[in-house]
Amino acid sequence: MTGFISAFDVTNSASVVCPTNGKVGRRVDTQTVKAMLNLPLNVLRNTEYRFCPDPTCPTVYYSADGLQTFAEADLRERVYQKHPQEDNSLICYCFRHTVGDVLKDRNAGENKVISEIDQGIKNGQCACDIRNPQGSCCLGNVRALVKTAAVKS
Ligand SMILES: [Zn+2]
């Protein structure tokens, strides 16, 4: 019975590491993995899936038991965390803002991107769980990018 996988193989350990780079990834809802995969969804199992945000690791999602990994080529979207330096990387998937948009806004001393995202959230127009590969709101990433990027003079 090698390879047998229980239908209820749920791992609740907080420290489930990515089998590719050995670092702990973030738990994601299976709904997010379903929305992102560019594969027949019958590859999915009744287990926990995790997101590996490490830009140097090719694995985006992995099963908590380490038996499955999905790379960017298996997905319908490019993943911001894997290309954080590229201007054309989407950072806000719901309202389609790129890294370049955020930097331009910041360099102009404006706050249009963040206020547009805030407004969209208030209007109930965001769908981070099915649009953003990380399965959660992009706002933390956008704020971090605004903060860390050095202001060009
Ligand atoms: Zn990884």
Contact present, 87 and 109 (Cβ < 8 Å): no
SS3 content of the chain, % helix, strand, coil (to 5): 35, 15, 50
> Which class in CATH covers the domain with range 1-76?
mainly beta
Residue matched to tokens 């003079």: 153
29 Cα distance to chain centroid: 11
56 C-alpha to ligand 1 centroid (Å): 8
Tell me the whole-structure pTM to 2 decimals. 0.86
Instruction: State residue 15's pLDDT score.
Output: 76
pLDDT score for 117: 97
Q: If you measure from the C-alpha of residue 118 to the centroid of ligand 1, how many angstroms do you get, rounded to a whole number? A: 30
pLDDT of the residue at 103: 95
Q: Identify the pLDDT of residue 77.
A: 96
**How far is the centre of ligand 1, averaged over its atoms, from the C-alpha of 113 (Å)?**
29
- The number of CA neighbours under 13 Å toward the Cβ of 2 is 0
Q: Residue 152's pLDDT is what? A: 52
- Residue 34 one-letter amino acid: K
Cα(79) to ligand 1 centroid in Å equals 13
| 144 SS3 class | helix
User: Who surrounds ion ligand 1 at CB < 5 A?
Assistant: 18, 20-21, 52, 57, 59
Instruction: Supply the pLDDT for residue 98.
Output: 97
**Which ranges of the chain have pLDDT less than 70?**
1-14, 149-153
Distance CA 25, CA 62 (A): 9
Domain positions in the chain are 1-76, 80-148
